[in-house]
Structures are given as structure tokens and as C-alpha cells.
Structure 1
Amino acid sequence: MAGLRPESPRPTAVTLHQASQRLEVAFDDGACFLIPFELMRVYSPSAEVQGHSPEQAVLQVGKRGVGITGVEAVGHYALKPSFSDGHDSGLFSWDYLYHLGRDEAQLWRAYEAKLSAAGASRDPA
């Protein structure tokens, strides 16, 4: 995943909200997003989730209620969250977090359509 491009909005604040299970990211263009942990988990940019091509992507099921147990800064360009289900290999660039926040509604619709087509659920087994 690409890092921060020169024209990209830059983060001004990051807050982990455990009670609501959301990551709040404010950007210098005035945008502020509350990104659900579950959305971050199912759209993790890691190869484990995305594969090495769209055909290799692995549908993430049963992730409703997943938490974030810790977050590490990676240089000045990304965050590396550790999720409560043990997943910790995704590097979330600022551009990618902006995309998740800006396009949240579309991403949820696409994810729920894939779950439905697979006969799967967001709920843990």
C-alpha cells in the first residue's frame, strides 16, 4: 500500500475509541472519520486478507465485535493495528485510512453483498 503522497491530506489527530469500537482520524483538510474496527479488519490491506491479486482476496467472516488491542505508528505514513482476533499484519497508510473513512458506506455495501453471496455472516460462529 502506498504511503502518503505530497498532495494527500495529512493526519492531525488519531484517537482510539474502545467503547464505540472506532478509530477517529482527523485530517488537515477538515475531514474527520470514525472508522469502525470491523471495517478496518475486513478491509485490512495485508496480503493475508487481500491476497496478491483481487482473485486471491479472502472474504473475512464473523468479524462483528472485533476489537483493536494496540496500534503502532509506522514511520510518518501508516498505522499498524493489532486486532483482538490476532490479525496484526496490515499497514494502514494515511491514504488508505482516508479511503476507508470517505468510502465507508460503499465499502459496507460491497462487503455485505459478498457475505450474502457466500452465505456467510458478520457474526462470529
Structure 2
Amino acid sequence: MAGLSNGSPSPQALTVHGESRVLEIAFSDGAVFRLPFELMRVYSPSAEVQGHGVGQEVLQSGKRHVTVDALEPVGNYAVQPRFSDGHDSGIFSWDYLYFLGSQQARLWSDYEARLLAAGRDRDAPMPMKMSSGCASH
């Protein structure tokens, strides 16, 4: 993950609101975003969610009630949340958090459209992964 781009707003305050399940982040340009944990989880920058290339994204569902159990700093450029569903491999740079906040309405719309296209419900549990190995009996 890249750090801050030249001239990018820097974070001034970061607050985890457990009850309302949002991460509030204020930036040096005056922007303040309230990012729902669900949005962060379904758009996690991890390979588990994003895949290893274009078209490899894994559509997430059943994340409406996910919480952030811990939020660890990563250097001076990012944070790494540990979500209540066990997901903890996404490193959220300040630039990425700003992107999520500034594009929140479009991202929600895209997410809902992808769910609809896949015939999946937002609250449906994630489908079981099929094992690639075969057991012989």
C-alpha cells in the first residue's frame, strides 16, 4: 500500500465508534468522514477481498454487523483493523481511507449493484469455499 501522496490531506483525528460501528476520521483539509465498519470490511484492501488482480475480487456479504475489535497503527501511513469476523489482513492507508470517505455514496451503490448482479443478499453469509484438494476414501 502506498503511503500519503505528495500534497494529500493528513489525518488529524481518528475515533472508533463501537456502538454505531463507524470509524470517524478528520483530515487536514477539513474533511471529516464517518466510515461504516461494513463499508471498510467489504472494501478491505487485502488480497483476500481484492484478489490478486483485476477481476479477482471476492464479493463480501453478511458484514452489516461486523465490528472493529482493534485498530493498530502501521508506521505513520496507515492503520490495520481487526474485524470481529476474524479478518485482519487489510492495511488501510490514509489515502485509501480518504478515498473510501470521499467516494462512500458511489461505493455503496457499486456494492449493492454487485450483490444484485450476483443474486446475493447483503446479509447472506459468505458462501463456503470449496476445497481444492480431494480426499480419497
Smaller-chain TM-score bracket: over 0.9
Q: How many angstroms does 1:116 deviate by?
A: 0.6
- Indicate whether 1:79 and 2:89 are aligned: no
- Indicate whether 1:121 and 2:121 are aligned: yes
Which letter does structure 2 place at the counterpart of 1:101?
G
Distance 1:124 1:19 in 2: 22
Equivalent in the alignment of 1:9 = 9
Equivalent in the alignment of 2:99 = 99
Q: Which has the higher contact order (CA 8 A, sep 6+)?
A: 1
Q: How many angstroms does 1:124 deviate by?
A: 4.2
- Structure 1 runs (4+) greater than 2 angstroms displaced: none
* 1:54-93 aligned within 5 A: 54-93=54-93
Distance 1:87 1:45 in 2: 11
Q: How many angstroms does 1:12 deviate by?
A: 0.3
Larger radius of gyration: 2
What is the RMSD computed on CA atoms of the aligned residues? Answer: 0.8
Which letter does structure 2 place at the counterpart of 1:77?
Y
| Equivalenced residues, count | 125
Q: Deviations over 1:79-99 (max 9, x none)?
A: 000000000000000000000
Q: How many angstroms does 1:6 deviate by?
A: 2.2
5+ residue gaps, structure 2, are 126-137
Distance 1:34 1:87 in 2: 20
Whether the 8 Å contact between 1:64 and 1:124 is mirrored in structure 2 is no
Equivalent in the alignment of 2:134 = none
5+ residue gaps, structure 1, are none
What percentage of residue pairs aligned between the two structures are identical? Answer: 63
Whether the 8 Å contact between 1:17 and 1:23 is mirrored in structure 2 is yes
Counting helix residues as a fraction of each chain, which structure ranks higher?
1
Distance 2:57 2:21 in 1: 24
Which letter does structure 2 place at the counterpart of 1:74?
V
